[in-house]
């Protein structure tokens, strides 16, 4: 048995699809980040401290998004930079970009070649997708219900009704506790009619790869059809590798996954600091001012004390459609 295939299948009990389907694909869109700056015809750049309700500690700012040569390979890359610094009432800054309303996809093969940083304690990098119908900037005041009604009348919905596809997330607290954070990662999907106090439908699969997947470049792929989602590690090197996450979309009824993953999605890349995923959440009351002396931020060891940025390199993003 192929060793990589065997280990990944054992690591993820939820996998039900044996191997990548033998299909032919045509490249329909790519960004290889060879321009001197990020192409805003494709990408939106976050400038906020919201973090998606995940109790993250950073402020996302455009100045932390750069185009740089990778120091080893020399390839031109999109770089998301995270670092310690007091900025707008947060103790760290970082970056998040997305393609909402600019580049969307419904079904196909979506892949990214990424060199993730060493997450240590506290970093939470991710490559993921959200339904393009997601309503954004709702705020949290008393008028939010009215805003929801107005946006839904415009064809927008709130999370998780839009659907979410997490192709890869790193930095989970379980990997930290086991001492394998450099090879421990997650694929997941979230959906449902409402948040329902966190009781919305979802499926996640934690994976311990047979080799480190931080520091060097690795390829992360999702193959999305009308009937299934399947995610793969380094499929370019191991064409027969089993998926580390798979989900059937055959059931199209309300609150079943097939009802929510049948419309265009957009791409998100981010490098979070802290949050629920790495087990280092910001204070549960989400204070307006979050200082660097908070005990959970003191446990973030992945960011150098001198403010040197930690970098997530993205070599390219590609979208293929089946021939």
Q: What is the pLDDT of residue 8?
A: 40
Query: What letter does residue 307 receive in the DSSP assignment?
Result: -
- 270-296 core/surface letters (b: 16 or more CB in 10 A; e: else): bbbbbbebbbbbbeeeeeeebeeebeb
For residue 248, what pLDDT is reported? 97
CA quadruple 162, 168, 174, 176: dihedral positive or negative? negative
Kindly give the pairing relationship between strand 90-94 and strand 58-60. parallel
Note down the domain range covering 299.
3-322
* pLDDT on residue 140: 45
CA distance 253 to 191: 12
The reported pLDDT for the residue numbered 1 is 29
The pLDDT score that the predictor gives to residue 51 is 78
pLDDT on residue 144: 56
Distance from C-alpha of 237 to C-alpha of 12, rounded to nearest angstrom: 20
Cα gap 193→256, rounded to integer Å = 10
pLDDT along the chain (323 residues), means of 10: 35 34 87 97 94 87 98 97 94 97 98 97 97 76 60 82 97 95 96 88 93 97 98 96 96 96 98 94 62 78 96 98 91
pLDDT at 9: 33
Q: What is the pLDDT of residue 141?
A: 45
Instruction: Please state, as a whole number, how many other Cβ atoms lie within 10 Å of the Cβ of residue 189.
Output: 27
Contact 84, 323 (CB under 8 A): no
What pLDDT score does 12 carry? 33
Q: What is the CATH number of the domain that holds 108?
A: 2.60.120.200
Q: What is the pLDDT of residue 297?
A: 87
Beta pairing, strands 123-131 & 58-60: unpaired
| Cα Dmax for the chain | 58
How many domains does the chain divide into?
Answer: 1
H or E, element range at 97: strand 96-98
Q: Is the pTM of this model over 0.85?
A: yes
Question: Which tokens in the block code for residue 250?
Answer: 């055959």
pLDDT of residue 295: 78
């Amino acid at each position: 048995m192929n060793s990589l295939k065997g280990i990944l299948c054992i690591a993820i009990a939820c996998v039900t699809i044996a191997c990548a389907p033998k299909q032919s694909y045509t490249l329909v869109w790519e960004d290889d980040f060879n321009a001197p700056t990020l192409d805003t015809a494709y990408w939106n750049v976050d400038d906020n401290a919201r973090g998606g309700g995940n109790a993250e500690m950073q402020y996302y700012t455009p100045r932390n998004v750069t185009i740089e040569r990778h120091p080893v390979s020399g390839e031109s890359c999109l770089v998301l930079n995270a670092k310690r610094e007091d900025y707008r009432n947060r103790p760290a800054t970082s970056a998040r970009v997305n393609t909402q309303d600019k580049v969307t996809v419904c079904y196909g093969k979506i892949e990214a070649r990424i060199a993730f940083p060493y997450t240590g304690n506290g970093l939470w990098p991710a490559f993921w997708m959200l339904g393009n119908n997601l309503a954004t900037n709702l705020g949290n005041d008393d008028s939010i219900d009215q805003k929801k009604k107005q946006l839904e009348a415009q064809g927008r919905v709130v999370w998780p009704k839009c659907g979410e596809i997490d192709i890869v997330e790193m930095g989970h607290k379980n990997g930290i506790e086991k001492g394998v954070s450099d090879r421990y990662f997650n694929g997941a999907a979230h959906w449902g009619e409402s948040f329902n106090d966190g009781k919305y439908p979802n499926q996640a699969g934690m994976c311990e790869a047979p080799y480190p997947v931080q520091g060097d470049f690795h390829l992360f792929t999702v193959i999305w059809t009308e009937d299934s989602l399947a995610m793969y590690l380094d499929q370019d090197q191991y064409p027969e590798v089993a998926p580390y996450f798979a989900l059937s979309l055959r059931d199209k009824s309300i609150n079943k996954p097939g009802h929510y993953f049948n419309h265009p999605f957009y791409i998100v890349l981010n490098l979070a600091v802290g949050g629920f995923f790495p087990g280092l959440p910001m204070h549960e009351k989400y204070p307006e001012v979050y200082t660097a002396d908070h005990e959970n931020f003191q446990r973030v060891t992945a960011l150098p004390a001198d403010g040197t940025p930690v970098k997530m390199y993205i070599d390219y993003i590609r979208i293929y459609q089946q021939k």
